[in-house]
């Protein structure tokens, strides 16, 4: 399932995928895979993403009803 919330949060902070990847020490392809729903990140990576985007885990990773 695509993670549009994460994509929107990243766009809201005016960050490219590469810039976000550089901030949290992962590859750009991993950020792309997470946003497309092709990869489920570990909880540690989810926390790093939330910290980089100033959001909570619920905001970005809780599934929509």
Partner 1 sequence: MSNTIFWAILLTCLLAMGAAIYYASKKRKFDERQEMIRLRSYKYGFSTMAILAVIILFLSEFIKIPIALAIIIPLVASLWVMCIYDILHSAYFGFNEKNTKVTNWLTIVWGLWIILDPITEGQAILSWEGIATLVVGLFLISISILSLYQLHREHKEDAAK
Q: Among residues 8, 15, 33, 47, which is the contact residue for partner 1, using CB under 8 A?
A: 33
Burial-class residue 13 by CB neighbours within 10 Å (0-12, 13-18, 19+): middle
What b/e sequence results for 23-44 when a residue is b if at least 16 CB atoms lie within 10 Å of its CB, and e otherwise?
Answer: ebebeeebbebbbeeeeebeee
Note whether 41 binds partner 1 by CB under 8 A. Answer: yes
Q: Among residues 2, 12, 27, 62, which is the contact residue for partner 1, using CB under 8 A?
A: 27
Note whether 51 binds partner 1 by CB under 8 A. Answer: no
Q: Is 13 or 17 the residue whose CB approaches partner 1 more closely?
A: 17
């Amino acid at each position: 399932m695509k993670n549009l919330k994460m994509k929107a949060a990243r766009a809201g902070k005016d960050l490219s995928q590469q810039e976000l990847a550089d901030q949290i020490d992962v590859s750009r392809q991993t950020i792309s895979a997470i946003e497309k729903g092709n990869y489920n990140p570990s909880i540690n990576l989810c926390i790093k993403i939330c910290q980089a985007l100033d959001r909570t885990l619920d905001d970005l990773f809780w599934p929509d009803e």
